[in-house]
Structure 1
Amino acid sequence: MKRWILLALMCVYAPSLLAWPSVAETIPLGYSVVIVSTDLPDGSTGRGSGVVVSKEYVATNCHVIANTNGANVAKFRDGYKPIAIKANWRRDLCLLKFDSLPLTPIPMRDSSTLNYEEEVFSLGFPAGSPVPQPSYGNVKGKYAFDGGLIVRTNATFAMGSSGGGLFDEKFNLIGITTFKSPGHRGFFYCLPVEWIKELMDSPDILGLKTNEVPFWALPPEQRPFFMQVVTPFQNEEWATLKTIATKWVAEEPNSPDAWYFLGVAEEGIGEIPQAKIA
């Protein structure tokens, strides 16, 4: 009898366990996720990741290429030099422009269509890996910011994966892996593909020099509220969390995340009736 119960449980949970693609199944994406190499001012080289979003453009993070002496894209031991870039330094999104790439553009899916807890995976080149490495997780949050939705996931990524892709189960690009919160319990954030589409219509630029700082690297008090709440939430600093969440609710009264963190803070302080209302 126990054997049949175990078999039944395996059948019930099998779709969830098998939903994420295996490493072998992600191989076709190898034609669309590339290494972005840079020449640094001190003579050394840097690395990040990029995603082919059209025959002309590779999307990556601006912090991968900013203030370097040059950048190129590498795939299957072949290198490709961009003829120009498009940049939104504050959003930390750049497009490397090419005449025509012999690589496969990836379809894109707007972040507004994503569901909470939807299964996703990231793909990039962490720690000098010569092949793209997947990491599996779920959509854990969507935060309205600057005309788009920043996507939070627990599909981890590491140094070298900046500019890589976050994908859904159908291999649609749903975000650009960009930054994480400090510490071992980091929250991982991706830029929305809607920003990529907007950037395609912006003017070309030739230089890589900038003094602009990405929004996520601003002083803590200038960062978006969804970033400001992380440290006090993880450290159980409830009074600080309540102060930030109260400001967040005032500015974004329709944000469920703002109300959630306010409720968590009030419960932590012991203000149970208020927490139930939040």
Structure 2
Amino acid sequence: MESRIKAMMAFFCLTLTPQLAQAQPDMVDTLELGHSIVMVTTDLPGGSNGRGSGVVVSPEYVATNCHVIANSNGANIAKFRDGYQPTGLKANWRRDLCLLKFTPLPFKPVPMRESKTLRYEEEVFTLSFPAGSPVPQPSYGTIKGIYAYDGGRIVRSSATFAMGSSGGALFDQDFNLIGLTTFKSPGHHAFFYSLPVEWIKELMESPETVSLKTEEVPFWALPMTERPFFMQVVIPYQNEEWATLKTIAEQWTSKEPESADAWYFLGLAEEGLLQLPQAEKDFKRAYSINPRDLDAMLALSRIALVQNNLGALESLQPAVSALDKTQGDLIAQQISKLKQSN
């Protein structure tokens, strides 16, 4: 039974398969949008330099991550080989969000869309300067998680980013800024997170900060037990530490009973522990809370396949296919095989 469940988890690719749709914009489509993405450079103690990304969010402000510029000797932005020096700074060190202030910049600010309007499995893309690239580079994916936190919603997507991308942009298909690419989990199959634009708008109304020096730690770098539950579950999940994952997920469901992700990760832990009836119940709970929870649908499909439950597979297949045709086709193949064997 255990080996079969693991085979099914691999077959359905679980949560981490990048979904690259034909509708995603290419480099040409994003060329003009790239004019609003800038490189942030810093002078670090010891004489070295640092690099990150930034997004023009108003004629005066460029949003970036505070960890890009914190405790540096100075920060500037660069675009088209021209440099611009900020005249002021607004910072929320714990949220890891900073706004560099300029005299009006010759770049077009990007429109912003609040995270409360986002939906799971929406196609998204990032633009940033990974690995010191001289031009903004795109990365494509879908929204995989939306987590309420500190007055906003942290967005997890399958659009990857690398060193140098901190402070870059996460866009929807209408070229609205929906997040600031900020941090990722450790491990081979990393989770990628972006800060909400609500925090940017809120910070614009805050007083200026007088120094780049800080001893505050971003929320995502706090000791593990002080981080949000959506971060605490990742490493146990990646390491298949199912008992540990179950303990954390139970705490999460108790604190946030309306979080579909909490019930999904609890179901994953129970599935890993071969507690299939309870896992199925909790996956259904996640699916009922979030009808666009593709990962919960795939988990239910795995259990249905292990149980040879043809009816459940046939019920799930259209909903899966509507969000991910490739996964829907795989389930259709399994339905066909089951019918042939019966």
TM-score range for the pair, normalised by the shorter chain length: over 0.9
AA of the residue aligned to 1:205: T
Report what 2:62 is aligned to: 58
Report what 1:117 is aligned to: 121
Quick check: 1:44 aligned with 2:44?
no
Q: Distance in 2 between matches of 1:188 and 1:30?
A: 21
- 1:153-204 deviation line (CA, Å, top 9, x unaligned): 1100000010000001111100000000001200000000011011101100
Report what 1:4 is aligned to: none
- 1:30-60 deviation line (CA, Å, top 9, x unaligned): 2200000000011111100000000010000
**Does the 8 A contact of 2:156 with 2:192 survive in 1?**
yes
Report what 1:178 is aligned to: 182
AA of the residue aligned to 2:191: F
**Total equivalences in the alignment:** 263
Report what 1:234 is aligned to: 238
Which residue among 261, 264, 268 is the counterpart of 2:268? 264
SS at match of 1:27: coil
Report what 1:22 is aligned to: 26
Report what 1:126 is aligned to: 130
**Does the 8 A contact of 2:34 with 2:127 survive in 1?**
no
Deviation at 1:270, TM superposition (A): 2.2
SS at match of 2:83: strand
SS at match of 2:270: helix
Report what 1:207 is aligned to: 211
Report what 1:157 is aligned to: 161
Report what 2:100 is aligned to: 96
AA of the residue aligned to 1:257: D
TM-score of the superposed pair, with normalisation by structure 2: 0.75
Deviation at 1:274, TM superposition (A): 2.2
Structure 1 residue runs of 5 or longer lacking an equivalent are 1-15
- 1:64-113 deviation line (CA, Å, top 9, x unaligned): 00000000111111111111111110010000011211111000011111
AA of the residue aligned to 2:243: A
Pair 253,160 (structure 1): closer, same or farther in 2 beyond 3 Å: same
Deviation at 1:273, TM superposition (A): 2.7
Deviation at 1:236, TM superposition (A): 1.2
> Percent identity, aligned pairs only?
72
SS at match of 2:194: strand
SS at match of 1:18: coil
Report what 2:17 is aligned to: none
**Does the 8 A contact of 2:187 with 2:238 survive in 1?**
no
Superposition CA RMSD, Å: 1.0
SS at match of 2:29: helix
AA of the residue aligned to 1:129: S
Structure 2 residue runs of 5 or longer lacking an equivalent are 1-19, 283-342
Larger strand proportion of the pair: 1
